[in-house]
Amino acid sequence: MSEIDLPESHPRYQSLLTRHRIEDGVDRGITSRQGLIAEGRGEAFDYLLGERTIPSADDAARAAAALLLLADRPVLSVNGNVAALVPEETVDLAAAVDADIEVNLFNRTDERMRAIVTHLRERGADEAGVAVRGLDADARIPGLDHERAKVDADGIGGADVVVVPLEDGDRAEALAAMGKSEVVIDLNPLSRSAQAVTVPIVDNVLRAVPNVADHARDLSGASQTELEAILRAFDADAALEAAEDAIRSGELD
């Protein structure tokens, strides 16, 4: 990777790459002020986790892959930080599980929506034939403020499984109330969004999104029965507890 001038073996590689991508996202009008603050919160939790994918998060990533492969209409929801941090990785995951992508912002403006849609198209979505939705905004999620409720009828509106990385609690709960199954990627195991969903992955999006894609490719030959067994064996509460334990016992330095 030539984005930053450091070998991947550098101990601060991942954190410096993250910082670089977020700064670049601000320059492109993709990342918001709230997104920068959220990035900082994530950094602190990741530091406490030891900046690694813990075993329970890897189990969750495998369950998420199974859920996505079982889905009829999976959609990956993308906000400003996800677009800045893992654009190619998100497109790759969408291709691996045959999902659409939908841009959905907490602070929605037409300008940011268009900047992010363009960014994702340029970072591989057009080439991979992955649909990037979000500009139609012709459906609403019940129970949310007007701007936050906007979704595409053909995207999140009609989806049965939604991946909502770095999502806020209200929206995760409102989507769950619509009967949708959700995968959340969130570094805080006791956030409301992590608590509300079918499969919470307590991990950095930089590690989690490619990891779910890897599991999906690994499971591409599995039968429906096998996928259902993987999903059934996944215990969300136990995974959140394991993540909390890892944070409590992690090295604070």
Point out which residues bind a copy of itself (CB under 8 A): 19, 22-23, 26, 33, 36-45, 48, 188-190, 244, 247-249, 252-253
Q: With respect to a copy of itself, which residue has the nearer C-beta, 45 or 234?
A: 45
Q: Tokens 């929506």 sit at which residue? A: 113
Q: How far is the CB of 120 from a copy of itself (least distance, A)?
A: 22
Q: What region does 238 belong to: left with phi over 0, alpha with psi -120 to 50, or beta?
A: alpha
Q: How far is the CB of 87 from a copy of itself (least distance, A)?
A: 19
Report phi then psi at 167, rounded to 5. -90, 155
- DSSP per-residue letters across 52-81: S--HHHHHHHHHHHHHHHH-SSEEEEE-HH
Q: With respect to a copy of itself, which residue has the nearer C-beta, 19 or 121?
A: 19
Helix, coil or strand: residue 88 = helix
Q: With respect to a copy of itself, which residue has the nearer C-beta, 223 or 249?
A: 249
Q: Can you tell me the distance from the alpha carbon of 91 to that of 86, in angstroms, rounded to the nearest whole number?
A: 9
Q: How far is the CB of 36 from a copy of itself (least distance, A)?
A: 4
Q: Tokens 């805080």 sit at which residue? A: 188
Q: Can you tell me the distance from the alpha carbon of 171 to that of 167, in angstroms, rounded to the nearest whole number?
A: 7
Q: With respect to a copy of itself, which residue has the nearer C-beta, 14 or 160?
A: 14
Q: How far is the CB of 215 from a copy of itself (least distance, A)?
A: 27
Q: With respect to a copy of itself, which residue has the nearer C-beta, 154 or 170?
A: 170
Q: How far is the CB of 2 from a copy of itself (least distance, A)?
A: 23
The two tokens of residue 234 are 């996944």
